[in-house]
Amino acid sequence: MRISQRRGAAAVAATVAAGAILTACSSGGSEDGQTDAGSAAGGEDATCTNEILNADAPQVSVWAWYPAFESVVDLFNETHDDVQVCWTNAGQGADEYNKFSTTIEAGSGAPDVIMLESEILPTYTILDSLVDLSEYGAGELESQFTTGSWSDVSNGDSVYAVPVDGGPMGMLYRADIFDEYGVEPPTTWDEFAQAAQDLRDAGYDGYITNYPTNGNALNYALFAQNGWSPFEYDNANPAEIGIDVATPEAEEVLSYWNDLIESDLVATDDAFTSDYNTSLVDGTYAVYLAAAWGPGYLQGLSDADSGAEWKAAPLPQWDPANPVQVNWGGSTFAVTEQAADPELSYTVASELFGTMDAWELGIDEAALFPQWLEALESDFFVEKEYEFFGGQQINKDVFIEAANGYEGFSFSPFQVYAYDQQTQALYDMVESGGDAAGALQTIQDALVTYAQQQGFTVK
Amino acid sequence: MTTSSTAVDQTAGPAAAGARGGKLRRSSSTSTIDSKRQWWGWIFTTPFTIVFVLFLIVPLSYAFWMSLHNKGIATGGESVFVGIDNYVRAFTDPIFLDGLLLVARFVAVMVPIQIGVALLCALVLDTLATQLSKASRLLIFVPYAVPAVIGALMWGFLYSPRFGPAQDLFGLFGLAAPDFLSSSMIFTSLVNIVTWQWVGYYMIIIYAALRTIDPSVYEAARIDGANGAQIALRIKVPMVSSSMVMVVIFSLIGTLQFFTEPTVLRSVAQGAIPPDYTPNMYAYSLAFSYSQFNYASTIAFALGIFVFIGSYLFLYLTRKQSGLKS
């Protein structure tokens, strides 16, 4: 009797507890949504990370994850009586985008101004969640920015964001390692492959560089350097898209890397993991194929090799007679459809990094690479000597030319999905020893199927 | 004789009548108390009911409503009623079905390991009564006190080919450590993390049930000639079977909804753990990475149906052991 009672009680407890677990887990999703919306609404109301200096002025909420951004915000608020910026760091990259997507679905909770990488802009313009800034005169800004960055934020006469920083690519290399093994730093990709072999033959036990299968935008840039343009997409005609991923140009680049990987001359660690970070600075990789924000990233890493001597050089080229410059990353300020006062928000978006004072903070403290020509061409930036590179003027030597040579790139309106498919296909290729053509075809097929499922007409 | 029998009858009569009357009175008074109790019961559960409706019924209904609509990103954000189309798509979606198959594999491997280890630990700890057993009990339980995210992050470091101790440990025997984060090892690595995390919790539940067994039962068994192993297998295990059923249900539901550990580990193994590794992760990616909230709701509901059927089936099959049916 006693036993059966206890059993009964336990069984009831079991069902109740099982129910509780179901409850806990199934409500998890919606709880997340609510927290996100809550914190976003906070952005509109009061909880700013920075201090509001002029409490009477209207406030514009901003989401951004720039390093040392607080000083830029403070500078803006000190110099503006008519508007104050209320800044929140809603996470970096995907973290912020996930929250932004949630606020779009919810119809409320988005900030007025949001920091977005240029590659993600089409993802949001197709959802009609960004304001066309040309209404507020953004078209006039065109001459103030680099050609490539302007092409990335505009579409015909429409302007969807104000460019801030960019990621023109260069090659950062360990001069001490190349010296020690008597190898010349490469200037073309042929020389690069040769250097990889020479370093190995001379007894260097690291890898010339790392080819991360999850290096989304990096891999795009490396393909683009050989003339790859996978997406044909125009905001004016949002239901149509051209997808051409598996091209001979891309195959050439991917086969090149695949060969180096199969000869064990290039590592394949995932990017942005702690393993990768350590390998970057402890001499495991001799070269870091980097964007202009790369030096800032390197300096922030610990466990660095004390004898390291870093130098910057232009990115190796496929055809040295016709050098092609590419871009990896870079961000913009966009005004969201939910902005209470789009015109005032546009003022904030265009003026936050619209002064030389702000850019001095951005360049010195956050290691940003300006797309605003006045800052880009200023002596302060051009002549800047970087202690980390032994006093080399890396902007003058490498990155300014790269930025000016960049012509823009057309991303898809489902870029996160495209990146995820690429990561998977490249990983499978490396893991199973597959070939480049197969991997690219897998991506192509997945994207076409997905686009059709989403209601696009695939050209 | 007759008088005495009448006397008995007489005495028995009122007693019986009294008993009958008493029974009647009792039953009528019980029903009023019952109905009053029921009212009070409802009032007492109000705080829970409000929270339950607000945070479970309402979001679930909304999610269900969403799962019946669709909104393609190219079609201008117009929400269209599509009936069960999304469900048809979900149950023919190879990604979702592969995900289900994967969590089913996790259930097949992880649940027996967890329950087996937990039962073994509980039985051993129940038999020993030394200071050491108290310390071990605590040590086995401690991983459960570590938050799942922290635990997974920590294992991420332990598995790391560079920072992890594996290379050194295998090096002692002149072997090369396997890459725990490669696609061929990731299944095992995840099973290990989850087992480490949950065994202590399940052990405590089983152990608590073992402690409630009357020691005289063991005494009787011993007098009947049972040895230690027989007592453990024939007496202890059957007597804690209802707790075991509960623990299996926990483990089953948790595993079918597998999310936290692979999501955290994904930050160091993006190739080996795709964003749609388990159905729950698939729903998350669809909603928050790809802005497909409608289809994500469908996947979440479809998974819910699967979990419900799985748990119901299990409870039905074990109704004897759990005491749901005596």
Residues A263 and A210 in one domain: yes
pLDDT at residue B24 in the model: 47
Residues A282 and A348 in one domain: no
Comparing CB atoms, the residue among B239, B270, B291 nearest residue A101 is: B291
- Domain assignment present for residue A5? The answer is no
- A94 to chain B: closest CA residue: B289
CA–centroid distance for B111 within its chain: 10
Q: Which of the residue ranges A238-242, A341-345, B11-15, B316-320 would you say has the lowest mean pLDDT?
A: B11-15
Say if A91 is an interface residue toward chain B (CB within 8 Å).
no
The one-letter amino acid at B61: S
pLDDT at residue B326 in the model: 57
pLDDT at residue B224 in the model: 92
pLDDT at residue A372 in the model: 95
Pick from A382, A414, A448: which residue ends a domain? A382
Say if B170 is an interface residue toward chain A (CB within 8 Å).
no
Q: Which residues in chain A are contacts of B59 at CB distance < 8 A?
A: 27, 30
Comparing CB atoms, the residue among B56, B249, B322 nearest residue A23 is: B56
- Domain assignment present for residue A339? The answer is yes
DSSP B179: -
Instruction: Give the tokens for residue A436.
Output: 């480049």
End-to-end CA distance of chain A: 74
Residues A312 and A453 in one domain: yes
Maximum separation of any 2 CA atoms in chain B, in Å: 103
Comparing CB atoms, the residue among B59, B157, B182 nearest residue A30 is: B59
- B315 to chain A: closest CA residue: A15
Total structural domains within chain A: 2
Residues A115 and A251 in one domain: no
pLDDT at B15 over 70: no
Q: Which of A101, A220, A426, A450 is nearest to B270 (CA)?
A: A426
Comparing CB atoms, the residue among A14, A29, A270 nearest residue B246 is: A14
pLDDT at A25 over 70: no
pLDDT at residue A186 in the model: 96
Say if B178 is an interface residue toward chain A (CB within 8 Å).
no
Asked if B74 and A455 come within 8 Å (Cβ–Cβ), the reply is yes
Q: How far is CA B234 from CA A90, B78, B123, B240, B323, in A?
A: 58, 63, 12, 11, 18
Instruction: Give the tokens for residue B264.
Output: 């955290």
Say if A273 is an interface residue toward chain B (CB within 8 Å).
yes
pLDDT at A390 over 70: yes
- B69 pairs with which residues across the strands? B81
The one-letter amino acid at A85: V
- A115 pairs with which residues across the strands? A333
Average pLDDT over residues A159-169: 95
Comparing CB atoms, the residue among A274, A428, A454 nearest residue B160 is: A274
Say if B76 is an interface residue toward chain A (CB within 8 Å).
yes
Residues A41 and A108 in one domain: yes
Q: Whole-angstrom Cα distance, residue A359 to residue A102?
A: 32
Q: Tell me which of A335 and B5 has the higher pLDDT.
A: A335
Q: Whole-angstrom Cα distance, residue A370 to residue A372?
A: 5
pLDDT at A39 over 90: no
- Domain assignment present for residue A211? The answer is yes
Residues A42 and A127 in one domain: yes
Confidence grade of residue B77 (pLDDT, cut at 50, 70, 90): low
Per-state percent for chain A, helix, strand, coil, to nearest 5: 50, 15, 35
Instruction: Give the tokens for residue A449.
Output: 């199927």
SS3 label, residue A160: coil
Say if A382 is an interface residue toward chain B (CB within 8 Å).
no
Say if B307 is an interface residue toward chain A (CB within 8 Å).
yes
Asked if B293 and A105 come within 8 Å (Cβ–Cβ), the reply is yes
Q: Which residues in chain A are contacts of B209 at CB distance < 8 A?
A: 10
Asked if A21 and B250 come within 8 Å (Cβ–Cβ), the reply is yes
Best mutation site among B92, B98, B242, B276 for testing chain A: the one with the most A CBs within 10 Å?
B242
Average pLDDT over residues B148-153: 93
Q: Whole-angstrom Cα distance, residue A266 to residue A200?
A: 10
Say if B318 is an interface residue toward chain A (CB within 8 Å).
no
Q: Whole-angstrom Cα distance, residue B217 to residue B223?
A: 10
Per-state percent for chain B, helix, strand, coil, to nearest 5: 75, 0, 20
Q: Strand pairing of A158-159 and A59-63?
A: unpaired
Asked if B322 and A213 come within 8 Å (Cβ–Cβ), the reply is no
Pick from A382, A414, A446: which residue ends a domain? A382
- Domain assignment present for residue A359? The answer is yes
Mean pLDDT score of chain B: 85
Q: Whole-angstrom Cα distance, residue A325 to residue A316?
A: 10
Asked if B73 and A98 come within 8 Å (Cβ–Cβ), the reply is no
Say if A22 is an interface residue toward chain B (CB within 8 Å).
yes
pLDDT at residue A26 in the model: 35
pLDDT at B19 over 60: no
pLDDT at residue A29 in the model: 34
The one-letter amino acid at B285: S
Best mutation site among B73, B103, B212, B260 for testing chain A: the one with the most A CBs within 10 Å?
B73
Instruction: Give the tokens for residue B210.
Output: 């073992």
- Domain assignment present for residue A388? The answer is no
Helices B293-317 and B94-127 meet at what angle, rounded to 10?
Answer: 40
Comparing CB atoms, the residue among A123, A127, A270 nearest residue B270 is: A270
CA–centroid distance for A188 within its chain: 25
Buried b (16+ CB within 10 A) or exposed e, A16-42: ebbeebbeebbebbbebbbebbeebbe
Residues A272 and A130 in one domain: no
Residues in Cβ contact with A420 at an 8 Å cutoff, skipping those fewer than 6 apart: B274, B275, B285, B289
Asked if A423 and B75 come within 8 Å (Cβ–Cβ), the reply is no
Asked if B245 and A270 come within 8 Å (Cβ–Cβ), the reply is no
Place of tokens 């009448």: B6
Q: Tell me which of B77 and A358 has the higher pLDDT.
A: A358
pLDDT at residue A433 in the model: 87
pLDDT at residue B282 in the model: 96
pLDDT at A5 over 60: no
Say if B238 is an interface residue toward chain A (CB within 8 Å).
no
Nearest chain A Cα distance for residue B172, angstroms: 22
Say if A92 is an interface residue toward chain B (CB within 8 Å).
no
Q: Whole-angstrom Cα distance, residue A90 to residue A102?
A: 13
Q: Which of A216, A234, A343, A331 is nearest to A270 (CA)?
A: A216
pLDDT at A417 over 80: yes
Q: Which of A375, A331, A330, A369 is nearest to A354 (CA)?
A: A375
The tens digit of pLDDT for each residue in A306-316 reads 888 999 999 99
Residue pairs between chains A and B whose CB atoms are closer than 8 Å? 152
Mean pLDDT score of chain A: 88
- Domain assignment present for residue A2? The answer is no
Q: Which of residues 17-56 of B touch A (CB under 8 A)?
A: 52, 55-56
Element containing residue A313 per DSSP (H, E): strand A310-314
The tens digit of pLDDT for each residue in B112-131 reads 999 999 999 999 998 887 78
- Domain assignment present for residue A160? The answer is yes
Q: Whole-angstrom Cα distance, residue B210 to residue A62?
A: 58
Residues A125 and A41 in one domain: yes
Average pLDDT over residues A134-154: 93
Asked if B250 and A17 come within 8 Å (Cβ–Cβ), the reply is yes
Asked if B269 and A270 come within 8 Å (Cβ–Cβ), the reply is yes
CB-based burial label for B25 (10 Å; 0-12, 13-18, 19+)? exposed
Residues in Cβ contact with A95 at an 8 Å cutoff, skipping those fewer than 6 apart: none
Average pLDDT over residues A198-206: 95
Comparing CB atoms, the residue among B60, B77, B271 nearest residue A213 is: B271
pLDDT at B196 over 90: yes
Place of tokens 């050609």: A147
Maximum separation of any 2 CA atoms in chain A, in Å: 92
pLDDT at residue B201 in the model: 95
End-to-end CA distance of chain B: 48
Say if A278 is an interface residue toward chain B (CB within 8 Å).
yes
Tell me the residue range of the domain where A204 lies. 168-328+403-458
- B184 to chain A: closest CA residue: A431
The tens digit of pLDDT for each residue in B275-312 reads 999 999 999 999 988 888 999 999 999 999 999 999 99
Number of CB atoms found within 10 A of residue A407's CB:
15
Comparing CB atoms, the residue among A10, A21, A104 nearest residue B242 is: A10
The tens digit of pLDDT for each residue in A79-129 reads 999 999 999 999 988 899 999 999 998 889 999 999 999 999 999 999 889
Residues A133 and A264 in one domain: no
The tens digit of pLDDT for each residue in A46-57 reads 578 998 998 889
Instruction: Give the tokens for residue A101.
Output: 């997507």
Domain with A294 in it: what CATH number? 3.40.190.10
- Domain assignment present for residue A13? The answer is no
Q: Which of residues 408-427 of A touch B (CB under 8 A)?
A: 413-414, 416-417, 420, 423-424, 426-427
Average pLDDT over residues B220-236: 91
DSSP A144: G
Nearest chain A Cα distance for residue B236, angstroms: 13
Cβ(A178)–Cβ(A286) under 8 Å? yes
For a pLDDT cut of 90, what percent of chain A falls above it?
Answer: 75
pLDDT at A346 over 90: yes
Q: Whole-angstrom Cα distance, residue A291 to residue A174?
A: 16
* Cα pseudo-dihedral A362, A363, A368, A372, rounded to 10: 80
Comparing CB atoms, the residue among B161, B212, B289 nearest residue A416 is: B289
pLDDT at residue B76 in the model: 62
Residues A324 and A176 in one domain: yes
Say if B2 is an interface residue toward chain A (CB within 8 Å).
no
DSSP annotation string for B202-235: HHHHHHHHHHTS-HHHHHHHHHTT--HHHIIIII
pLDDT at residue B271 in the model: 87
- A135 pairs with which residues across the strands? none
Nearest chain B Cα distance for residue A423, angstroms: 6
Cβ(A296)–Cβ(A367) under 8 Å? yes
pLDDT at B10 over 90: no
Q: Whole-angstrom Cα distance, residue B217 to residue B220?
A: 5
Residues in Cβ contact with B105 at an 8 Å cutoff, skipping those fewer than 6 apart: B187
Confidence grade of residue A374 (pLDDT, cut at 50, 70, 90): very high
Say if B269 is an interface residue toward chain A (CB within 8 Å).
yes
Give me the count of residues in chain A: 459
Q: Tell me which of A289 and B72 has the higher pLDDT.
A: A289
Residues A149 and A226 in one domain: no
Say if A361 is an interface residue toward chain B (CB within 8 Å).
no
Buried b (16+ CB within 10 A) or exposed e, A114-142: bbbbbbbbbbbbbbebbbbbbebebeebe
Say if A459 is an interface residue toward chain B (CB within 8 Å).
no
Average pLDDT over residues A325-339: 95
Give me the count of residues in chain B: 326
Q: Which of A117, A147, A122, A118 is nearest to A236 (CA)?
A: A122
Nearest chain B Cα distance for residue A357, angstroms: 36
Residues A128 and A152 in one domain: yes
Say if B226 is an interface residue toward chain A (CB within 8 Å).
no
Q: Which residues in chain A are contacts of B243 at CB distance < 8 A?
A: 10
- B161 to chain A: closest CA residue: A275
pLDDT at residue B39 in the model: 84
